[in-house]
Amino acid sequence: VTYADGSLIGESNGVYTTDANGEILISGLEPGKSVVVTETRAPDGYIIDTQPQTIVIQAGKTVALTFANQPKGELIIEKRDSVTHEPLADATFRVTTSAGTVVDNAGGAVSSNGLYTTNASGQIVITDLQPDTYIVTEVEAPEGYQMDAPSQTVKMNSGDTQTLTFYDTPKGTLVIEKRDSIT
């Protein structure tokens, strides 16, 4: 929080944090001066509103600014057997944005090079996603399965929960028996 001339307001270098009600009250401001407020950090799970807002302080009045944060999105990746539709663990997926940037730290699920592996329930849950288009590509099928359609694209908007389901086909088995022709 600064005056329009760039001078900082308050004793913490112009930095204020909202209270439990999502509010900040700053008293003792000079009437007639413009105050510029810029959000520098959004609450966990929300998209920061980096657009600065300016307001003129009025003598004897309380003026207000409102910053609205959009919730981030959640992507659920499901892996299933194409025959039984049972969930499959240990399938590995790469998640990237449409620009090719790997998603390697979303919602606390840190990965290496955007790689995530399905859990025992056959799922990967990635939270705190910014609005964007994401490309999810299966890079390794669970043992005993072959990939059917390895890639899907999903557009995430603020607050979306999207689910992508991938199916893998179980590999077949061949038994060759050698028998005595008489017995």
Among candidates 62, 132, 69, which has minimal Cα distance to 100?
132
Q: What is the pLDDT of residues 43-65, one digit of tens each?
A: 888 888 989 999 999 999 999 99
pLDDT, tens digit (0-9, with 9 covering 90-100), for 80-129: 999 999 999 999 999 999 998 888 766 556 566 889 999 999 999 988 88
**β-pair partners for 140:** 92
Whole-model pTM: value is: 0.69
What letter does residue 162 receive in the DSSP assignment?
E
